[in-house]
Chain A
């Protein structure tokens, strides 16, 4: 089959568009990696391709004040938040997807509404609550406050997922005399694993990236999460921004996320669209 000139133009135009999309998507991250491997004053020369390879910036970050501590804080906070949200969400979404009761739609809409809350609207009230509970400047302040966006999200996605499971498996269990709790743990849990991994991962990313609460509810450097640590990373003097170490820190915390996202690509897309558009 031969192509006419017009078809050739269309084909080349299409692939040019694809190349532009890919380059714009990955260039900033590529450039951050490239910068992070530059040493000393080389950082102030603009290069489009790697010219030198120095791990100096990485050493500076890893041995610097509290960066490792921040990573540990972030892992702990995100992990506990996700486990808590999943635990509360599994039983709740079973009830929301499988049992007919009055006010179910209203409850679903309310949960969706909470997930759209502007965080700043609860900041003052949460600040008071956290001070009252005595957890200000501890990881628990973040675990508590992150529930406001992780819980509605996990409930919503798991509800959509469970609604699509066939009714027959449940009927068989009911005839066998299984209680609702047994139905969840014995019948649904094995089927739910893929959905739990996806929603858990998405909630983890959300908690890992959160900034406003983490900035407001911590005061000492040792309690900071990774985003706050990177945002407030400063050099020897006020004027001098340590771009090299900032880029190294950025690469350290982003690479695991990018790898996870690429591995779970298909599942994440499915999870996101279930959260956004009705699945």
Chain B
């Protein structure tokens, strides 16, 4: 149809158009993502403060780790890498992420299995589980803060009525239960997302596999472990990494539900506190740089070890 040179022309024209089509998006992303990230990393090596954004001077790694020798010969280490508050936040973040994503995966898969069965009213159930997802995080934090209220909260009332608790407890204020409260709200809010992704994975499994297993009389549990789980695994791996990344950067729920609780302060919360509230702009930048590094390492390891195909390009 085309002669060879004309086809080449056309390809070249398309490539040139593609470049112009992509340029605005790439410039936009550079301005709002790459440049600010580079600036944050740069700030972390300076002594910039909120009131003096442009007067910061290069101080090397001092915000991370600084060795000082006193005149008495005693050596003190300073910086975020020896800051117990930072390591407490790291530990809180990791604990929160692992526990919440674990429960969300288990419950999400369970709900997906229920929704994958055929029963009357299935559409309604699917609509109902979308509601927690649709509610803004701040609103759900406030709703649950009210339900978990120590004196007038309905959760305490239910638990006292059925005899699990003797007296209501201050869920969000008490240092022992603050993390549990945050976990409950987060799991409630994000399990629907997990369930929907799992359901999409489940629906891609051909039905005849199950029929064959049924004819052969394979036990349902064995079907789950040997057929369902391996086949849904790729979708599950992607869902888990999305949730994990979300959990590692959690900020709003904790900021609203358990403000200033040492038991729940995460890396994002403590970084923002230093950046904006405490006027330790450079120190906060160092902490957000560390958070970025931790997440980048985690993602690379996960994709490498789990052989997750994120782009979906390979099997096209």
A: residues with CB less than 8 A from B are 14-15, 17-18, 21-22, 24-26, 28-29, 31-32, 35, 43-44, 46, 48, 88-89, 91-92, 94-96, 99, 101, 104-105, 107-109, 111-114, 116-129, 131, 144-145, 147-148, 151-152, 155, 160, 163, 174-175, 179-181, 184, 205, 208-209, 211-212, 215-216, 226-228, 230-231, 243, 246-247, 250, 253-254, 257-258, 260-262, 265, 268-269, 272-273, 276-279
Contact = CB atoms under 8 A, between A and B. Distances in A.
A22 B192 CA distance: 11
Contacts of B147: 28, 31
A120 B249 contact: yes
Contact of A254 (B37, B136, B268): B136
Interface string B132-174: 1111111111111011010110100100000000000000000
Interface of B: 1, 10, 13-15, 17-19, 21-22, 24-25, 28-29, 31-33, 35-40, 43, 53, 111, 114, 117, 119, 121, 124-144, 146-147, 149, 151-152, 154, 157, 188, 192-193, 196-197, 200-201, 234-235, 238-239, 242, 245, 248-249, 251-252, 255-256, 267-268, 271-272, 275-276, 281, 284-285, 288-289, 291-292, 295, 299, 309-313, 316
Contacts, number: 283
A236 to B, nearest CB: 18
B139 A117 contact: no
Contact of A152 (B1, B29, B193, B311): B29
Contacts of B37: 117, 121-122, 125
A32 B310 contact: no
Contacts of B138: 209, 211, 227-228, 230-231
Given A121-B292, A124-B275, A148-B33, A46 B143 contact: no
A189 B37 CA distance: 34
Contacts of B284: 124
A230 B142 CA distance: 8
Contacts of B135: 29, 254, 257-258
Given A95-B19, A123-B36, 15 more contacts: A44-B152, A116-B299, A118-B291, A120-B267, A123-B272, A124-B36, A184-B21, A212-B272, A228-B138, A231-B138, A243-B149, A272-B193, A276-B197, A276-B242, A277-B201
B143 A29 contact: yes
22 contacts: A14-B117, A18-B121, A18-B125, A29-B143, A44-B152, A91-B22, A94-B21, A105-B311, A109-B310, A113-B299, A120-B288, A123-B271, A127-B275, A179-B17, A227-B139, A231-B141, A246-B146, A254-B135, A276-B239, A277-B201, A278-B309, A278-B312
Interface of A is mostly: helix
Contacts of B196: 269, 272-273
A278 B310 CA distance: 7
Contacts of B295: 116, 118
Nearest to B107: A21
A213 to B, nearest CB: 10
B15 to A, nearest CB: 6
Q: Which 9 A-B pairs have the closest CB atoms?
A: A125-B36, A278-B312, A125-B39, A180-B17, A95-B18, A118-B249, A91-B21, A121-B292, A122-B36
Contacts of A205: 134
A227 B268 contact: no
A126 B32 contact: yes
Contacts of B288: 118, 120-121, 123-124
Contacts of B242: 116, 276
A254 B289 contact: no
B249 to A, nearest CB: 4
B143 A122 contact: no
A28 B188 contact: yes
A108 B22 CA distance: 11
A211 B251 contact: yes
Given A25-B128, A111-B29, A18 B119 contact: yes
Given A28-B143, A46-B157, A118-B249, A276 B13 contact: no
Given A18-B119, A25-B129, A125-B38, A227 B134 contact: no
